[in-house]
Amino acid sequence: MSILDLKTQLIEGIAASLKSLDLPQDNLHLERPKSQEFGDFSCNAALILAKKAKLTPLRLAQKIKQNLDILKTVVEEITVTPPGFINFTLSKDFLRKEVHHILQVGEAYGQTSHGKGKSALVEFVSANPTGPLTVGHGRQAVLGDIISRILEWHGYDVTREYYFNNAGRQIRLLAESVYARYMGLLGETMVIPEGGYEGNYITEIAENIYNKHGSIYNKKVDDPIFKNTAVQVIFNDIKSTLSNLQIKFDEFVNEKSFYENNRINSIIDRLREQDLVFDEDGATWFATTKLGKEKNTVLIKSSGEPTYRLPDIAYHEYKMKRNFDLLVDIFGADHKDTYPDVLSALKSLGYNIDIIRVLIHQFVTLKKGGEKVKMSTRKATYVTLEDLINKVGTDVVRYFFIMRNMKSHLNFDMTLAVKESDENPVFYLQYAHARICNIIKYADAVGISYTQKSYLRLISHPSEIELIRELIRFPEVMKSALEGLEPQVITNYLQALATQFHKFYTECRVVTEDKKLSQARLALITAVKYVLANGLSVLGISQPERM
RNA sequence: GCCCCGGUAGCUCAGCUGGAUAGAGCAACGGACUUCUAAUCCGUAGGCCGCAGGUUCGAGUCCUGUCCGGGGUACCA
């Protein structure tokens, strides 16, 4: 039985008891008490329903308890404590059986079928190819990938999608910047455009063109070679960085495609039919004030060029039309004000926007030795993600970016990150895994291994029991990660599990003269190994067998 | 001005959709390797949960106000 099934059973039991007392049964849930003295689960139903039952919470709790019909083999003790909680303590027998359960299910332990037969589209990164990915993009890249993995863990068929724009003003500036460097290489005067790009990579792209073609593009600022080479080189660079982070996209969608097949005009037309589009001052506006916003929004500038919102709407309509069950958009805080326009447009066009989950993450504040660094791709005052990966490694980078709640600002101190990479919390988890692997190897060498009948009844030491208690929380944690689409709960949990394991390790020797006990403990730590490995793999972090 | 996010130990942050005595890591101090890995463990110390009201059996968590930090508020993306 999984802990999730057990919780359902307990809640059903409580509901039945409430029904027999003629009390409402909705909104029941179990909590994990902070202290073990209150057992493994507690229920606050009596506190909430006391008024309705015209009893003190304590008396009501007693009554609910009396009417409870719950298996003694699973729940060892039910207590009522002030102010009126009903507490359930799981039997040791149940806990031991759970270890067996974990060993049987193995790599699938903690999975659910919530997403079985469903598909999800996760859009993230979506940085335009104007420069290398920065540390700032890293947070979103890792967040998006791990959220995708969480969805996959629960059975979703996930498409990771990257939306980009290789046209427009920024790209024109990029091409002109490359051209300027190219002219510089030819010994001509080099005019870097106003607001152009200054990074070293621009020079490298120019050299690339020069080495291949010499001076044949002299004075040909409009030749597509500059734009094409730049975009191609930068995109390759971006993909290679992502690949170093163990991230692979399934689809790349070009904003340009929405101009080509008339989708944009069609959106304007359909919104106009509903009186949500009007013309003013030569521009075309989206009447967002009619949809509850304070200001209207420009969709087509008076120059005739659409703002990015319009293709964004077209892109999201394209997402909708592909019939996913779930659409996840991951944006930085700078999009906070713009995505509601996209959603209200989709709604007006008749789409069910309930399937969209928009996740907004706060920015990374980069620091160097305590000093704040302002990042700008244009000015090349950034630290590239690639540099960071090279310095501290993929596992550390991935872990670092999801250690914190996405709603919080992430202070990233480069100096500290490099210095502290040796004592990064990710190693704490991996060390626990490696320790287990080593014990198993040692046990193997002396001829002890666990079998299905591994004397688990011999497990009784407090730190063993605590370890199991921690272990079986895993399915709950993974469920909550799915509900909140928040990877951080997994890292918090794995830290707690590793702590409990390290504690167990110092208190209980696994391989001893006592063969039966050794087998039992071997079974226990193998279960720990599965859970650690499962958690780490969802985070996309390696599980070393030796450190 | 208006909108969004944050404010919890010296520092960096957890705190499970309102629960019981607010937690961890780092830094400080004191202990533990003859053992399956000390990248570890145990202990001590550290708090007006920004501030003030409110809601109720119960608030770090919800509401109102206020202060501080960040982001947004473009015919830029």
Is residue A14 within 8 Å of A64, Cβ to Cβ?
yes
> Tens of pLDDT along A103-147?
999 999 999 999 999 999 999 999 989 889 888 888 899 999 999
Is residue A186 within 8 Å of A210, Cβ to Cβ?
yes
A420 pLDDT exceeds 60? no
Most confidently modeled range among A30-34, A43-47, A158-162, A479-483: A158-162
Residues 304-323 of A with CB within 7 A of strand B = 305, 307-308
Distance in Å from B68's C1' to A265's CA comes to 47
CATH of the domain at A56: 3.30.1360.70
- Give A103's contacts (C-beta < 8 A, 6+ positions apart): A450, A452, A523, A526, A527, A530
Q: Which residue is nearest to nucleotide B17 (CA to C1')?
A: A484
My answer on whether A132 and A249 are in the same domain is yes
Query: Which of A421, A438, A464 finishes a domain?
Result: A421
Is residue A430 within 8 Å of A541, Cβ to Cβ?
yes
pLDDT higher for A19 or A431? A431
Strand B proximal to A488 Cβ, under 7 A:
yes
A245 backbone φψ class: left, alpha, beta (φ>0; ψ -120 to 50): alpha
Strand B proximal to A340 Cβ, under 7 A:
no
Is residue A152 within 8 Å of A540, Cβ to Cβ?
no
Strand B proximal to A35 Cβ, under 7 A:
yes
Is residue A398 within 8 Å of A421, Cβ to Cβ?
no
**CA A316/CA A314 separation, integer angstroms:** 5
Residues 180-209 of A with CB within 7 A of strand B = none
**CA A175/CA A228 separation, integer angstroms:** 8
Strand B proximal to A218 Cβ, under 7 A:
no
Strand B proximal to A298 Cβ, under 7 A:
yes
**CA A96/CA A83 separation, integer angstroms:** 32
My answer on whether A442 and A394 are in the same domain is no
My answer on whether A83 and A148 are in the same domain is no
Confidence of residue A537 (pLDDT cuts 50, 70, 90): very high
Is residue A468 within 8 Å of A456, Cβ to Cβ?
no
Confidence of residue A370 (pLDDT cuts 50, 70, 90): low
pLDDT higher for A339 or A413? A339
Chain B: bases < 7 Å from a protein Cβ: 2-6, 12-17, 19-26, 35-42, 57-58, 69-77
Give the DSSP per-residue string, A451-475. Answer: -TT--GGG---HHHHHHHHHHTTHH
Q: pLDDT over 70 for what percent of chain A?
A: 95
The reply to whether A274 falls in a domain is: no
Strand B proximal to A284 Cβ, under 7 A:
no
Distance in Å from B56's C1' to A298's CA comes to 47
- Give A172's contacts (C-beta < 8 A, 6+ positions apart): A227
The reply to whether A279 falls in a domain is: no
The pairing of strands A410-413 and A364-368 is parallel
| Nucleotide minimizing C1' to CA distance for residue A82 | B20
Distance in Å from B75's C1' to A334's CA comes to 19
> Tens of pLDDT along A229-270?
999 999 999 999 999 999 999 999 998 888 887 888 899 999
The reply to whether A112 falls in a domain is: no
Mean pLDDT, residues A181-197 taken together = 86
Distance in Å from B12's C1' to A493's CA comes to 18
| Nucleotide minimizing C1' to CA distance for residue A477 | B16
CATH of the domain at A333: 3.40.50.620
Strand B proximal to A165 Cβ, under 7 A:
yes
The reply to whether A230 falls in a domain is: yes
> Tens of pLDDT along A13-50?
888 888 888 887 777 888 888 888 888 999 988 888 88
| Residue with token string 């003013």 | A280
- Cite the DSSP H helix spans in A359-486: 385-392, 394-402, 414-419, 425-445, 462-471, 474-484
Residues 53-82 of A with CB within 7 A of strand B = 57, 81-82
A414 pLDDT exceeds 80? no
Is residue A210 within 8 Å of A190, Cβ to Cβ?
no
Q: How many CA atoms lie within 13 A of A438 on its CB side?
A: 10
The reply to whether A100 falls in a domain is: no
My answer on whether A79 and A163 are in the same domain is no
Query: Which of A421, A456, A484 finishes a domain?
Result: A421
The reply to whether A397 falls in a domain is: yes
- Report the complex ipTM: 0.93
My answer on whether A361 and A474 are in the same domain is no
**Number of domains composing chain A:** 3
Distance in Å from B32's C1' to A439's CA comes to 21
Strand B proximal to A505 Cβ, under 7 A:
yes
The reply to whether A282 falls in a domain is: no
Strand B proximal to A374 Cβ, under 7 A:
no
My answer on whether A399 and A432 are in the same domain is no
CATH of the domain at A452: 1.10.730.10
My answer on whether A504 and A527 are in the same domain is yes
Q: Per residue, what are the HEC states of A248-299?
A: CCCEEEECCHHHHCCHHHHHHHHHHHCCCEEEECCEEEECHHHHCCCCCEEE
User: pLDDT value at position A422?
Assistant: 58
Distance in Å from B55's C1' to A515's CA comes to 61
Query: Which of A379, A396, A421 finishes a domain?
Result: A421
My answer on whether A182 and A247 are in the same domain is yes
My answer on whether A247 and A359 are in the same domain is yes
A330 pLDDT exceeds 70? yes
My answer on whether A50 and A157 are in the same domain is no
Q: Which residue is nearest to nucleotide B2 (CA to C1')?
A: A294
Residues 442-471 of A with CB within 7 A of strand B = 442-443
Strand B proximal to A408 Cβ, under 7 A:
yes
The reply to whether A416 falls in a domain is: yes
**CA A414/CA A420 separation, integer angstroms:** 10
Mean pLDDT, residues A66-85 taken together = 85
Specify the 3-state DSSP secondary structure of A448.
coil
CB atoms within 10 A of CB A102: 26
Q: Which residue is nearest to nucleotide B19 (CA to C1')?
A: A44
Mean pLDDT, residues A500-507 taken together = 94
User: pLDDT value at position A382?
Assistant: 67
CB atoms within 10 A of CB A429: 25
Q: pLDDT over 90 for what percent of chain A?
A: 51
A439 pLDDT exceeds 80? yes
User: pLDDT value at position A259?
Assistant: 85
Q: Which residue is nearest to nucleotide B5 (CA to C1')?
A: A407
Q: A227 lies in which domain range?
A: 118-258+320-421
Mean pLDDT, residues A412-437 taken together = 79
Specify the 3-state DSSP secondary structure of A157.
strand
My answer on whether A22 and A36 are in the same domain is yes
Confidence of residue A212 (pLDDT cuts 50, 70, 90): very high
Beta strands in A154-250 (DSSP E): 157-164
My answer on whether A244 and A353 are in the same domain is yes
| Nucleotide minimizing C1' to CA distance for residue A297 | B75
- Cite the DSSP H helix spans in A31-130: 45-53, 57-66, 92-105
